[in-house]
Amino acid sequence: MNVDSGMLLVIDSGNTNVVFAIYDGQDRIGVWRCANDPKRTADEYAVWLTHLLEHKGYKLTDITASALASVVPETRFNLVSLCRRYFGGEPLVVGDPSVDLGLEILLAQPEQVGADRLVNAVAGFSKYGGPLILVDFGTATTFDIVDGDGNYCGGIISPGINLSVEALYQAAAQLPLVEIKPTDHVIGNGTITAMQSGIFWGYVSMIEGMVKRVEEEFGATMKVVATGGFADLFAEHTPVIEATDRGLTLDGLVQIYYRNKVR
């Protein structure tokens, strides 16, 4: 890694989107996202980023270091190539054995935990303390458990809400594709409102039920923080979510980068 005084690029490669953000120290300057396409080359990413950076008054050469978390192996190679070719050399890649996360993974097979979930745990504990439940509304909805010492204790993976909507639409011939939104009444007065109620309030009930079960099993009251695309929407409609943090993964990557920079 190049660790000079230039800007840092962090990349969160998820199942649906790749999110790019640039930081000047701890200050986030810009955030952009694109669909995660394993066929997109390093050079294509560079051309796309060049235009976005120029719009903010920056150049590719302003970025001298990079950090990456990826849950899509097919995309990782091109993103690492992008960083090597354009952004100051070898990126920090969460999941590599040499990278110090500053937490223990209290699982029998720690290598199975997604990089994004570990990054969220690092950032979540740093910003909110523990014990903590992190709910990430992504392609899957995940619940990650962090103890009072900041260690990763395990989690829960459930289908993301968009997947649930799409599955219902594809599997039932007479059911339409509906918008994800809260309904005024739990009991629907037609097919669309019945579906919207089942999807939205059913998801709220799942969140509340899971939080209750986790706290009972863990043996303590826990702070619940949500991130991901639907975090704000669901936080408005359930009291169990105490805070939302859409930039949690990006901030965690920055924290991990600087932790390893000063070792």
Q: Is 62 a catalytic residue?
A: no
* Residue 49 domain flag: yes
Q: What is the pLDDT of residues 25-59, one digit of tens each?
A: 889 999 999 999 999 999 999 999 999 999 989 99
Same domain? 23 vs 133? no
Q: Where are the beta strands (DSSP E) in 100-209?
A: 132-137, 140-146, 152-159
Q: Which pair of tokens denotes residue 163?
A: 């997947």
Average pLDDT taken over every residue of the chain: 92
Tell me which of 27, 43, 96, 116 is the catalytic residue.
116
Going by C-alpha positions, the residue among 31, 80, 3 that lies closest to residue 259 is 3
Report residue 104's pLDDT band, with 50, 70 and 90 as the boundaries.
very high
Q: Is 62 annotated as a binding residue?
A: no
Confidence (pTM): 0.89
Q: Which pair of tokens denotes residue 57?
A: 């008054």
* Residue 256 domain flag: no
Report residue 2's pLDDT band, with 50, 70 and 90 as the boundaries.
very low
Q: Is residue 263's pLDDT more than 60?
A: no
Same domain? 170 vs 68? no
Q: Is 146 annotated as a binding residue?
A: no
Same domain? 136 vs 224? yes
- The CATH number of the domain where 126 resides is what? 3.30.420.40
Q: Is residue 261's pLDDT more than 90?
A: no
CA–CA distance, 44 with 47 (Å, rounded to integer): 5
Same domain? 80 vs 139? no
Q: What is the pLDDT of residues 133-143, one digit of tens each?
A: 999 998 899 99
Q: Is 18 exposed, middle or buried (0-12, 13-18, 19+ CB in 10 A)?
A: buried
Q: Is 220 annotated as a binding residue?
A: no
Q: Is residue 245's pLDDT more than 80?
A: yes
Q: What total of structural domains would you count in the chain?
A: 2
Domain holding 50, by residue range, is 7-93
CA–CA distance, 122 with 73 (Å, rounded to integer): 22
Q: Is 116 annotated as a binding residue?
A: yes
Q: What is the pLDDT of residues 171-228, one digit of tens each?
A: 876 778 888 999 999 999 999 999 899 999 999 999 999 999 999 999 999 999 999 9
Q: What is the pLDDT of residues 150-168, one digit of tens each?
A: 999 999 999 999 888 888 8
